[in-house]
Chains A and B, each alone.
Chain A
Amino acid sequence: MMVSEIDMISPETMEECLQILNEYEQEVRLLAGGTDAVVRMKEGHWRPKLWLNIKGLRDLRFICEEKDGIHIGPLTTHTDMVQSSLLQEKADVLVHAAKEVGATQIRNMGTIGGNLGTASPAGDTIPALFVLDAVIELSSVNGIRRIPIEEFFVGPGKTVQHKSEMITNIIIRPQEENEIGIFEKLGPRKAQAISIVNVAISLKMSGDGWQCAGGKIAFGSVAPTVIRARKCEVLLTLQELNEEGISNIASLAWKEVAPISDVRASAAYRRDMSTALLERGLLRLMKRWEDR
């Protein structure tokens, strides 16, 4: 299939979009910011019969706080997230992660829904969504279902989303008082590179001192999907997060990951780097906690 033979429809409402998804019988793909989709089209991997261009669906671009959490529309761009004062205050880890995505142009175009739909194990916003207990809302003409993020991904590039469904909302929990988060990324250079390893951490500190009341840690790029580091999380509360405590926790991280070797890095390096990034992230978080 040549690119010029692909059709494109730009629905004006979500209902129209869901109708098309339901009725169109040949291969159809959603097109949001296009920062991944266009590249894959160019490379010949994605040549659907129809592009469903949803970039114009303004109703799907929002960030607001509701009773059940912070709602983020799937067409929210990375720049929107970086600039959101609500997220800066109550989801700092997601803001950090969004900042690390690509260059300004990519952040202006790329959307959080697209990042989820692409389902790359190296996607930068996904570990942050893991530690914020994100719930993904999938809609179709038949109704709505909500999937916890840990159940959303099936493997690299694969999710539980059906062909007739689209992501219509992402709901995260707001960080609590004394909860601080950080996103650490190791790439082959400082910016504009795919992660070799990344990790999102969110810690609830118990008042003063270095005692942590609980926290969440999620790694990217070291397994077929983003994964939580549950053993490390348990250890967070068992000792003070001083240099020694941090080193102890981090030294466990390599046991929780199952990376592969590719053109960007070897599996052995990725394994060691999960430890290094967790250590660096915790050290930086504690410095911030101390300086607050």
Chain B
Amino acid sequence: MTSKWIGKRVPRLDGPERVTGELKYMTDYHYNNMVWGRVLRPPYPYAKIKSMDTTRAKNLPGVIAVLTHEDIPGFNGFGIVVPDQPVLCEDVVRTTADAVALVAAETEEIAEEALALIDVDYERLDAVTDAEFAITEQAPKLHADGNIHSHVVIKNGEVEKAFQEADIILENTFHSPRQMHAFIETEGGWGILEKDGTLTIQCPGQYAYRDRLQIARALAWNPARIRVISSPVGGAFGGKDEITVQIYLALLALHTGGRPVKIHYKREESVIAGMKRHPFKVKMKTAAKKDGTLLANQVLAIADTGAYASLGGAVISLAIEHSCGPYKIPNVDLEGYCVYTNNGIAGAFRGFGVNQVCMGIETHMDMIAAELGIDPIEIRKKNVYHQGDVSSLGHVVKGSVGTWKTLEAAEKCDLWINREKYKAEISEPWKKRGVSIATSFHGVGMGIGLPDYGAASIQLLPGGRFEVGVGCEEIGGGNGTVYAQVAAEILQCDVTDIVVVQGDTSRTLDGGTVTASRSTYTGGRAVATAAPNMLNLLTKAAGEIFGVSEEQVRVADKKVVVYDADGKADSSLSFAEIYDYLYENRRDTRVEGHFMLPKEKKEIKGSGGAPHRLYGYLTHVVMVEVDTLTGETEVLRVVSIPDAGKVINPQGLEGQAEGGAVMGIGYALYEDTIIENGYHKTTNFSNYILPTVKDSPQIETFPVEELEETGPFGAKGIGEVVMIPIIAATISAIHDAVGVRIKHLPATPERVYAALKARKDQTNQSNEENVM
């Protein structure tokens, strides 16, 4: 059957309003009678609170409320997995990102002034700022159970024996940056105590139902009395997965006499208080045979989660699960720690730990290939697993696997075939070019141990349009258009006849998070599960109207058609007419669809949730040009080859592939939130260096489609892997260009220059030795 909407370049339904700026994010709203909320942060990364006095702040004219931990009716903590982060600190602060008190005032300025009038007496403590030190016995314990939040281990085969038998062994340590989500809309939102005593929280998020539960726990309220509206979102990338300001808004709203309260972080506050990517130290030892067959991989990864866990445990688990790449390595010894320090807070971020380890294994693949004189694509093809193979973790991979095809496509792309020609076309004599590839993968959906389900509702509207409700928020990726396409395909109507509603506990069902590369798969499949129920509802109603059996009625091309005994179309009804009939007869016009995501049955012991049932795969080819005088690297061309299963919207996929590539380039070359001794040195976008359009290369996207039989029309997920292999590929391309390997990211001009200089000094030295 040919598709009308699936696989078509349908322009984003919300595109024009986003491009023109007409779309209002929730933090763009203003209400009459509103008040402003602000959060007091501690001046120290680690300190005891000896006493707190809010009298002076409360007496400032224009101040409406000043709240401390004493004003929290319920549980003083939040956290998706372990609620170890205080809503408002009571006796100790563990990071400058902590919240100590809340203020509501007539203006933002008065609120700000009131913060300065809250008297807190601190006793400073020695901050723990090194993750490796944090693990040791000497380190002060930041939490009751110590500084190791989680420890995961996967072992398979016998690594030591394999190392003895190997022809080549590589051992390196890689450091990764504390990347910032840097969404256009900083954390913020509204809290409104409604006239009926219920609470509305309008706040961008990535899972309204879970946010609601966390708010309810802090308030000791029945969650049903809280409505959370969490979409649309001005960018999230994982940074709005955890609670941001929802609980602050709820607490303040209870003290403003029904006046709406707004909090909206300034960029400077977002830099300090917001989640970041976990900086990792990854030690990796990889062994291979002379012919390039991988024999063993040993990994020790240490993730700095900062003061609180959030999703840090899951991040290190996913990192370890992916630390051997999409390869078959028979002997592995993989170990990861998620560690508390006083360095801000780290949590979910696109890639979720895989970025950090991919850099290690892909760099090693490149080094092994170079040392053995094997083509870098050949060595990968030799070691990849296929569907039905046993992975490095020791499980049989049941989902579709596209790595081989993406490598094949890479081998045949213009940039790779003609790389020597392109490399010779340097723009100035002191510049050098390099081309490199890397491949990676990323789990789709939650791992073992987390129930994972999807749900959608479809309602027939007056006039014959449909409202499709999906919990997954619109965080920028364009999932709403995907849902409309899936619905229009099955309901045989135009995408413009579909009204998509997302992220609202009063209008959408609980269908899980918009994270884990899952929203196309989960939301799409949920819509595809609900849509046949709507078809039934339509045909049943038409059957009743015409007094014929349902079998004689079919939905085709925007109407319901009745067929006579010979199978010839007899007469038809529009969806609008069906609606009128249902409305007049007080009949239900709404259907739902629910399903459970497929899971592996057996968890790999000690892995913290591995393996996943589904993975998305992707290969990047990258060309860079390095200025040997200054160390500046420019990425000139990128080819992105995703295996996303069936591509539902090629235009949306390209958007993800291009945005992901640029985010990966940022990680590889520019971005780092610098924290020294627990204090942020990075303050805002003047010194947090994001790639701009001038730093963005030409990006081509060539999808291969390994259909996933469980997915909607064969789709998988791609939201995260689009930014992963490009990191290692960019760094390898620098090596291809100028012969130095940067293992401490980002590869800033200064780091590349220092490596070039060190190599030059070394060469000079050895030349001198030769002379002597």
Contact = CB atoms under 8 A, between A and B. Distances in A.
Interface of A: 2-4, 186, 188-194, 196, 263-266, 269, 272-273, 276-277, 279-280, 283-284
A191 B692 contact: yes
A131 to B, nearest CB: 21
Given A3-B109, A263-B682, A280-B430, A186 B749 contact: yes
Contacts of B674: 263
A190 B694 contact: yes
Contacts of B430: 280, 283
B589 to A, nearest CB: 49
A191 B686 contact: no
Contacts of B670: 188-189
A276 B630 contact: yes
Contacts of A190: 634, 692, 694-695
Nearest to B669: A189
B629 A280 contact: yes
Interface string B685-699: 011010110110000
B692 A269 contact: no
Nearest to B751: A269
A138 B445 CA distance: 66
B113 A188 contact: no
B113 A192 contact: no
Given A186-B749, A189-B692, A276 B109 contact: no
Contacts of B689: 188-189, 193
Given A189-B691, A190-B634, A269 B629 contact: no
A277 B630 contact: yes
A7 B228 CA distance: 41
A194 to B, nearest CB: 7
Nearest to A44: B112
A196 to B, nearest CB: 8
A263 B757 CA distance: 21
> Top 8 nearest A-B pairs by Cβ distance?
A276-B629, A190-B694, A188-B689, A269-B750, A191-B694, A2-B109, A263-B681, A276-B630
Given A4-B109, A188-B670, A194 B694 contact: no
A265 B754 CA distance: 12
Interface of B: 107, 109, 113, 428-430, 627, 629-630, 632, 634, 670, 674, 681-682, 686-687, 689, 691-692, 694-695, 748-750, 753-754, 757
Contacts of B681: 263
A265 B751 CA distance: 10
B429 to A, nearest CB: 8
Most chain A CB inside 10 Å of its own CB: which residue of B627, B682, B687, B749: B749
A142 B754 CA distance: 54
Nearest to B691: A189
Nearest to A277: B630
Contacts of B630: 186, 273, 276-277, 280
B692 A192 contact: yes
A188 B753 CA distance: 13
Given A188-B748, A190-B694, A263-B674, A269 B687 contact: no
A188 B682 contact: no
B632 A186 contact: yes
B537 to A, nearest CB: 53
Contacts of A193: 689
B439 to A, nearest CB: 27
A279 B629 contact: yes
Contacts, number: 59
Most chain B CB inside 10 Å of its own CB: which residue of A189, A192, A193, A265: A189
Nearest to A273: B630
Given A188-B689, A276-B629, A280-B430, A265 B750 contact: yes
A194 B634 contact: no
A189 B754 contact: no
Contacts of A284: 428
Nearest to A43: B268
A168 to B, nearest CB: 30
Contacts of B107: 4
Given A194-B686, A264-B687, A188 B757 contact: no
Nearest to A243: B429
A89 to B, nearest CB: 26
Contacts of A2: 109, 113
A56 to B, nearest CB: 27
A242 to B, nearest CB: 13
Given A186-B749, A280-B430, A272 B757 contact: yes
A2 B114 CA distance: 12
A99 to B, nearest CB: 12
Nearest to B754: A269
Given A263-B682, A273-B630, A277-B630, 7 more contacts: A186-B749, A188-B749, A189-B670, A190-B634, A263-B674, A264-B687, A280-B627
Contacts of B757: 272
Contacts of B692: 189-192
23 contacts: A2-B113, A3-B109, A186-B630, A186-B749, A189-B691, A189-B692, A189-B694, A189-B695, A190-B694, A191-B692, A193-B689, A194-B686, A196-B749, A263-B682, A265-B750, A269-B753, A272-B753, A276-B629, A277-B629, A279-B629, A280-B627, A280-B630, A283-B430
Contacts of B632: 186
Nearest to B690: A189
Contacts of A186: 630, 632, 749
A284 B686 CA distance: 29
B189 to A, nearest CB: 22
A192 B107 CA distance: 32
B298 to A, nearest CB: 34
Contacts of A283: 428-430
A191 B681 CA distance: 21
Nearest to A2: B109
A235 B674 CA distance: 41
B607 to A, nearest CB: 39
A4 B428 CA distance: 52
A75 B479 CA distance: 48
Contacts of A266: 750
Contacts of B629: 276-277, 279-280
Contacts of B753: 269, 272-273, 276
Nearest to B750: A269
B442 to A, nearest CB: 27
Contacts of A194: 686-687
A284 B682 CA distance: 34
B734 to A, nearest CB: 16
A284 B427 CA distance: 12
A189 B747 CA distance: 12
B630 to A, nearest CB: 5
B698 to A, nearest CB: 15
Most chain B CB inside 10 Å of its own CB: which residue of A3, A188, A190, A264: A188
A40 to B, nearest CB: 12
A119 to B, nearest CB: 18
A264 B682 CA distance: 10
A54 B686 CA distance: 26
A272 B756 CA distance: 12
A191 B632 CA distance: 13
B687 A263 contact: yes
Most chain A CB inside 10 Å of its own CB: which residue of B629, B634, B681, B757: B629
